[in-house]
Chains A and B, each alone.
Chain A
Amino acid sequence: MALLTAKGIHVRFGDRVVLEEVDFDVREGEFHGIMGPNGAGKTTFFNVLTGRVKPNRGSIELAGENVTGFPSHKIARKGVSRSFQIMTLFDEFSARENVLAALPEFRDSGFNPAKAVTAEKKWQDAALDVLAEVNLAEKADVKAKELSYGERRALEIAVATAQRPRILCLDEPTSGLGSDGVRRLSDLVQRLKGKLTIVAIEHDMSFLFSLADRISVIHWGQVIARGTPSELRENEWVRRSNLGKFA
């Protein structure tokens, strides 16, 4: 069953059409990769899925509910979390505080001024657990802006998983990572796979082809190819384009 379905998504900025007509679906539990050339509109498509950009046409259904045009905070509360291609961490917060702010139990604690953030041990512990999963437990009290690039990437993912999402959207998670970092990320995603439904935009083909259940190729504002990694290896366009160079 499809957990998320996007139909006929059309987005333009002024008179520039970025997405012509994108159809897309994610099945419960699958890892769905998205690839495509620079500027193809992949991030824009994520922005549509997560409520940041309203599509000019088309619809999005999440678990059978029409969520088209919902604002991002509402989509987030329905269980869609995301990481950002250009990192947008809370720079002044420690790693732990970044994760803490993402915990649903923290978010739902409301406006009660009698609660002190630092005194709520269960939040602090829960945040630490999430950090441990991405090997950042030792850096819990380091400010986000003082972390190394690779650590910040890991923190991005920790924040997205801390939301305990139904669907995790990752926008180029390997970008800027060295081979070591990519390997660690692969391990992490491998562990998340199956527990979570994941959609990942990625330029790193070996990363994507080794992990994805299905891959969609976005180009010219459309999905021009879709299938399992082995199906895509046979695809004419993928073979001809630079993107196929992995093979």
Chain B
Amino acid sequence: MNGAANNSPDSARLVTPAMLLVWALLATLPLWISRLGLYPYIGIEILIWAIYALSFNLVLGTAGLPSFGHGAYFGIGAYAFGLCQFNIAPNLWVCLAAALLAAALAGAFVSLFISHRRGIYFAFMTIAFGQIFWTISIKAHSITGGEDGLLKIARLPADFGVVAFDLKNNVSFYYFVLAAFAVVVMLLWRLIHSPYGKVLSAIRQSETRASHLGYRVWLYKASIFTLSAGLSGFAGGLFAMAQLAAFPDVMSLHHSGYVVMMTLVGGGLVSFWGPFIGVIVFLVARDVIGAFTNAWMLWFGLLFMAIVLFKPEGIAGAWRSFVQERGGKVWKSVAGERLRLLFRSG
């Protein structure tokens, strides 16, 4: 449904050829990234944002729910990671679990208010809650460090009992995040192609029909929102490690907008890998165009507008239609329709 064709054998696999290809490319990234004139650190950022954007797309692309305040959960994860490290236990696994759980808890709370809504009402409420969390992160100075952020967060070692890896060095941390990314990708792929994922995509198409088939629609919406928030928080925890700090900035509305832009530009409405592609394009554009002009966001914004207006299937969709047409087939994009449905409130 989302991603490979419905009847493709890939949809029943745990690991697909596409995953192997992506992982292999990413595994060699530290060897060639500097030759492209990019900083190796961008690899870490790409992977963390990819986890975040793929999780976000569970809500946007799979369930068809326009969430525009997702930065809140990413940020909550980052703070939770730091606070856990300072106040509970300086253990990597405990703190990553704390990041995931804190964000999932916030997501579950919010989902109680929004899971009976859809369309533009859903969108507005996610923005409102996002702003509330962002404000708290700035005002709760004694806990979060306010606008200065929560500093001196350490990259805790990855202790597997028999062996422990020190993650202070960017290359080892990169491989740690790559492993996390691989696990998340497998998990999401299975989830989307399970009956649960199928029902989510049914709900995206018609809530009315789904409820008359016996599905408790609000519970599906609440659960996917919670899961998506939790995984976004997990990404946030990794981000706190990457930056050695947590800042309120990532929770702001414009940061929440970034993940929406990445997802749509990449083709998240029609493709599993869309958000990942979008993240790469966004971050590389930031570094490359950003080297020439401070107004790189203007250019990316224009690209975003062009895509929404003319190519809502995004880069992944454009690529797929190109490949199919060369094979003599017609690929009808459903992206425009899906984009429209996102804001239908009925």
Contact = CB atoms under 8 A, between A and B. Distances in A.
Interface of A: 50, 52, 71-73, 76-77, 81-82, 84, 88-94, 97, 100-102, 104, 106-107, 109-119, 141, 159, 163
Contact of A50 (B7, B187, B190, B212): B212
Contact of A104 (B190, B195, B214, B334): B214
B266 to A, nearest CB: 20
A73 B209 contact: no
B198 A97 contact: yes
B139 interface: no
B196 interface: yes
A113 B187 contact: yes
B190 A114 contact: yes
Given A81-B212, A101-B198, 10 more contacts: A72-B211, A89-B206, A97-B6, A111-B223, A113-B191, A114-B190, A116-B12, A117-B198, A118-B6, A118-B7
Contacts of A114: 190, 194
A183 B8 CA distance: 38
A225 B318 CA distance: 59
Among B208, B211, B334, find the residue whose CB has the most chain A CB atoms closer than 10 A.
B211
Contact of B211 (A76, A109, A113): A76
B212 A52 contact: yes
Contact of B334 (A50, A81, A92, A141): A92
A113 B190 CA distance: 6
A70 to B, nearest CB: 12
Contacts of B158: none
A82 B212 CA distance: 7
Nearest to B13: A116
- What does DSSP make chain A's interface, helix, strand, loop or mixed? loop
B215 A107 contact: yes
15 contacts: A73-B211, A73-B213, A76-B213, A88-B209, A90-B206, A92-B334, A100-B198, A106-B195, A107-B213, A112-B195, A113-B194, A113-B196, A114-B190, A118-B8, A163-B213
A222 B106 CA distance: 49
B246 interface: no
A73 B215 contact: yes
A118 B11 contact: yes
A71 B211 contact: yes
Q: Which 6 A-B pairs have the closest CB atoms?
A: A116-B12, A76-B214, A119-B12, A90-B205, A113-B194, A77-B214
Contacts of B193: 116-118
B254 interface: no
Interface in B145-191: 187, 190-191
A95 to B, nearest CB: 12
B61 to A, nearest CB: 12
Contacts of B201: 90, 92-93
B214 A117 contact: no
Nearest to B334: A92
Contacts of B208: 52, 84, 88
B229 interface: no
B205 A117 contact: no
| Most interface-central of B9, B12, B195, B206 (chain A CB within 10 A) | B195
B231 interface: no
B344 interface: no
Given A90-B205, A90-B206, A119-B12, A110 B212 contact: no
A100 B202 CA distance: 11
Contacts of B12: 116, 118-119
B11 A117 contact: yes
Interface string B27-50: 000000000000000000000000
B218 to A, nearest CB: 9
B235 interface: no
Contacts of B334: 92
Contacts of A94: 6
Contacts of A141: 6-7
A238 B152 CA distance: 83
A114 B194 CA distance: 7
Nearest to A77: B214
Contacts of A159: 209, 213
Contact of A110 (B6, B190, B195, B213): B195
Nearest to A141: B7
A101 B209 CA distance: 10
A50 B209 CA distance: 12
A110 B219 CA distance: 12
Interface string B255-269: 000000000000000
B241 interface: no
A30 B219 CA distance: 35
B202 A90 contact: yes
A106 to B, nearest CB: 6
A197 B70 CA distance: 47
A117 B223 CA distance: 19
A116 B194 contact: yes
A117 B10 CA distance: 12
